[in-house]
Amino acid sequence: MLREIHLSGTPYAMGLEHGQLLRDEVHHLALERYELARNFAATRGAQLTRQQCEEMARQHLAIHQQQMPHVIEEWQGIADGAGLPIEDVFFANALTDLQDVLWQAADVEVHGCTSFLVAADTTRNGNPLAGQTWDMHATAQPVITIFHRTPDNGPRSLVLSTAGCLTLIGVNEAGISVGNNNLRPTDARPGIIYLALLHEALAQESWDDAAAALIGPGRASGHNYLVAGSDGQLANIETTATEHDLLPVETGVYVHTNHYLSERLQALEDPQLDPSSTRHRLKRAGQRLAQEQQPFTPESLRLALSDHDGDDLCICRHGTERNVRSCAFVVADPAGQSLWARLGPPCEGTLKEYSLDA
């Protein structure tokens, strides 16, 4: 079962409480992600020292200080609460973005999340839904946490993320939900990381402002974002560091994995990408959702994504240690202001509803 933590106050106060409550977990994830980055570089013939990692963090932190000082305040709170330098906390948040630079020097297969948007006309409760597997190194699963956030300013939110990190997947009291899956562009550079962008999106009061927060200037790299609204608004937003493409979804089901579907943005995709897994998962997710009897519920969506076709290329992954695992499965209901979620691969059990008001 997922651990739940309640945070309130200023960005610094929420960060401080976060760091104090999850001190051991924050330390674990920060050290683990330094090791993952160094090992990733070493297996590709490069050396990446702790000092180089810290310098990369400082370059990005300076940009966040200029454009999102409130995010810096929260990271500083987490760092102070956990007794770590802010560079360590930032690196734990930024690993995916920072690795995009390293990926461009190697032939690496993407093992990322499988995500979907489900329009209100296909759901049992008449609400739009958005969801995904969250695929990452298996050592991240024990530090996944549900955060109930009550800031002094802005809407309350309910967020699934890892210890020490900002928003990964979430919903707010304005009826907005966000999620994401990774993409690999060639234009990665120092900039605003994706967790900070998702955090900023959930700080908004309107769906339009949330979408705008994800496509603003200064992104560090590319991600795919899912944005859903309680009034039925759905969009899939593909981004690179410098470009974006927004696709409204008005009916039916939309599926995304880890390659660019926008013809315009495909020119900026890393040409060394091995598309085997991402293309297989896109096809299988579309097939499974088409086969699943409508109207959809969070549970029927979980069953549809509990798919092992393709062995190592499959949607529902069971890696251990530092291998790829579906560490969580989440369905967001922005109209219901809730997340339906479970730890671990979707095939392993039913979802629990987590409510913003709980």
Same domain, 48 and 156: no
Q: What is the pLDDT of residues 43-57, one digit of tens each?
A: 777 788 889 889 999
Which of 110-114, 197-201, 264-268, 293-297 has the least mean pLDDT?
Answer: 110-114
167 contacts 161 by C-beta, under 8 angstroms:
yes
pLDDT value at 32 more than 50: yes
Q: Which CATH number characterizes residue 53's domain?
A: 1.10.439
Q: Is residue 173 part of a domain?
A: yes
Work out the mean pLDDT of the chain and round it to a whole number: 94
328 forms beta bridges with 134, 343
Same domain, 190 and 297: yes
Distance between CA atoms of 92 and 311, rounded to whole angstroms?
29
pLDDT value at 119 more than 90: yes
Same domain, 61 and 183: no
Same domain, 23 and 51: yes
Same domain, 21 and 149: no
Same domain, 187 and 66: no
pLDDT value at 103 more than 70: no
Token pair listed for 356? 């913003």
Same domain, 57 and 127: no
Same domain, 89 and 138: no
- What is the number of residues in the chain? 358
pLDDT value at 163 more than 80: yes
DSSP string for residues in 149-169:
EEESSS--EEEEEETT---SE
pLDDT value at 109 more than 90: no
The domain total for the chain is: 2
pLDDT value at 21 more than 90: yes
Distance between CA atoms of 263 and 92, rounded to whole angstroms?
32
Higher-confidence position of 38 and 192: 192
277 closest CA partner among 251, 301, 308: 308
- Averaged pLDDT for residues 229-238: 98
Q: Is residue 110 part of a domain?
A: no
Q: Is residue 251 part of a domain?
A: yes
Distance between CA atoms of 109 and 180, rounded to whole angstroms?
18
In our burial notation (b when 16+ CB lie closer than 10 A, e otherwise), range 59-97 reads ebbebbeebbebbbbbbbbbbbbbebebbbbbbbbbbbb
Domain holding 215, by residue range, is 115-355
Look at residue 130 and give its three-state secondary structure: strand
pLDDT value at 258 more than 50: yes
Same domain, 66 and 180: no
- Averaged pLDDT for residues 202-219: 97
Same domain, 308 and 191: yes
pLDDT band at residue 111 under the 50/70/90 scheme: low
Report the pLDDT value the prediction gives residue 7, as an integer from 0 to 100: 98
Report the pLDDT value the prediction gives residue 40, as an integer from 0 to 100: 76
pLDDT value at 274 more than 90: no
pLDDT band at residue 101 under the 50/70/90 scheme: low
Q: What is the pLDDT of residues 65-85, one digit of tens each?
A: 999 999 999 999 999 999 999
pLDDT value at 110 more than 50: no
pLDDT value at 296 more than 90: yes
Same domain, 162 and 248: yes
Percent over 70 (pLDDT), the chain: 97
Boundary of a domain, candidates 103, 130, 165: 103
Q: Is residue 311 part of a domain?
A: yes
Q: Which CATH number characterizes residue 301's domain?
A: 3.60.60.10
Same domain, 238 and 297: yes
**What backbone torsions phi and psi does residue 275 show, to the nearest 5 degrees?**
-90, 10
Determine which helix (DSSP H) or strand (DSSP E) holds 9, and give its type and residue range: strand 3-9
Cite the DSSP H helix spans in the chain: 11-21, 23-42, 50-67, 69-82, 86-103, 194-201, 207-214, 276-291, 298-304
- Averaged pLDDT for residues 102-119: 71
pLDDT value at 105 more than 70: no
Q: Is residue 62 part of a domain?
A: yes
Q: Is residue 131 part of a domain?
A: yes
Q: Tokens 């309680």 identify what position?
A: 230
